[in-house]
Amino acid sequence: MLGPRVASVSPSMERPQASEAAQTERIVEGGDGASEPGDRKLSKRQRRRRRKSASAPSTTNASLHDLPPALCAKVVEAERALRGRDAPEEAAAPAGKGRRRRRGRGRAAPVKAPFSPAPARVSIAVPISGRAAGLGSTEFGRQPAYAALDLGTNNCRLLVAVPTRPGQFRVIDAFSRIVRLGEGLGRTGSLAATAMDRAVAALEICSQKLSAREIRGARLIATEACRSAANGAEFIERVQRETGLSLEIVTRETEARLAVSGCGSLVDRSAKGAVLFDIGGGSTEIALLDLRRGASRRLSNHIVAWTSLPVGVVSLAERHGGRDVSADVFERMIREVEGMIAGFAGADKLRDLVGQDGFHLLGTSGTVTTLAGVQLELERYDRRQVDGLWLTDSEVDRLVSRIAGWSFEERVANPCIGSERADLVLAGCAILEAIRRVWPAKTLRVADRGLREGLLTEMMVADGVWRRPAPANARQTA
């Protein structure tokens, strides 16, 4: 975490002008700047002290005009705290006095000069903490934080989290932006200049967020767009040069494993098998999990087959169109993806479980979270309601048919789709339909989590943050 920003006031500074002193008074007291009429409500003792302090030379309040107004106010507040410590009798009115006198004693006089000598140097620290970042508590700032960044074909996402109970963590900062890095990649084979500019702008924000915290471990990955682009490595170098972030282009196998690690907690523990899929912008990862011998904590150990299809919502929409999609075009999309799955050698590893009780699908992508949001009729997308939601086979049929029947304008108008996904959602639905035809299931579970959560989990496991400490009275062995 960044150290505190410190501004110091030394006794050699010059005295501020009257107008600037009045401005400082407004900041501290929250009034309108008219200080003189308040004298009529002060007690004789307070007015006498005020006149005495005004005639005394000021040291610590001396050139506050050189400081920003907010910091100036903090200096005055610190001086007032010192004054209160040295003159505690001013803090409360004596008992038995009249109501008018108590009201006068309770009102603090506007501060024009310090009432008591201050140390030779006064420092005001403004730490960057969890509370300052809007987290509601500073306790997370003292815990080791981990960061995971996923730069995909369509999105740039960042998560910063701290470990909590075993196997769990609390997100303390997050960022997500649609950058469409893979826009036009299918036609040209290279990342477009405008797409790279959008991605770099988003990554710069991520860099600033990371530099504002003390990060114990971080892993920053790039997926299909950088993996397949002719200028992918060149773009990674540019990111390093302009943002200071070192991105790692991961393999398809690693991407599939991370998806399982990130979503594994949503697999039904009573299930005998499941197919987990992650529909991305440029690729789709599919993993088959055999759980007949019981699920272990590390679900990636249960992967019996996996594949990464070279198709995602961006690439499929660019080939077939995403704005105006007829029923025939939609069916062609589905069949294209089905043909890709047909080349997957391990597709039948769970054939005796598919379609039966104890088997389900688990999807993580903008496509399935969009279906969940539409199903719940959310006026605004809410992850808490979507993540972990179960959809029946008939509900998925109805939702896909409903969205496919909407016009482009109707898709834009839906709050869970919007203008940024309106031309991509049907391509995602087509990929989903192809998966459901190959592995039919009675239920589909929705996950609003994925690679970033997998990265965080693996880093925390590797660091042993969830290990129980050895008992203090444990026997020491040689």
**Full pLDDT tens readout for the chain, 478 residues:** 333 333 333 333 333 333 333 332 322 233 333 333 444 455 666 666 666 555 544 444 444 445 556 555 655 665 555 455 444 444 444 444 444 444 444 444 433 333 333 333 222 222 223 322 333 333 444 678 999 999 999 999 999 999 998 888 999 999 999 999 999 998 899 999 999 999 999 999 999 999 999 999 999 999 999 999 999 999 999 999 999 999 999 998 899 889 888 888 899 989 999 999 999 999 999 999 999 987 766 777 889 999 999 999 999 999 999 999 999 999 999 999 999 999 999 999 999 999 999 999 999 988 999 999 999 999 988 889 999 999 999 999 999 999 999 999 999 999 999 998 999 999 999 999 999 999 999 999 999 988 999 999 999 988 888 876 655 554 443 3
pLDDT, position 54: 52
pLDDT, position 167: 82
pLDDT, position 119: 32
- Residue 466: C-alpha distances to residues 106, 132, 163 (Å): 52, 28, 8
CA 286 to CA 306: how far, in whole Å?
Answer: 6
pTM of this prediction exceeds 0.75: no
* Crossing angle (nearest 10°) for helices 366-376 and 425-438: 100
CA 69 to CA 75: how far, in whole Å?
Answer: 10
Q: Express the helix, strand and coil content of the chain in percent, nearest 5 each.
A: 45, 15, 40
Nearest Cα residue to 172 out of 184, 164, 161: 161
Nearest Cα residue to 415 out of 447, 391, 386: 386
- Residue 140: C-alpha distances to residues 289, 459, 463, 466 (Å): 35, 18, 18, 16
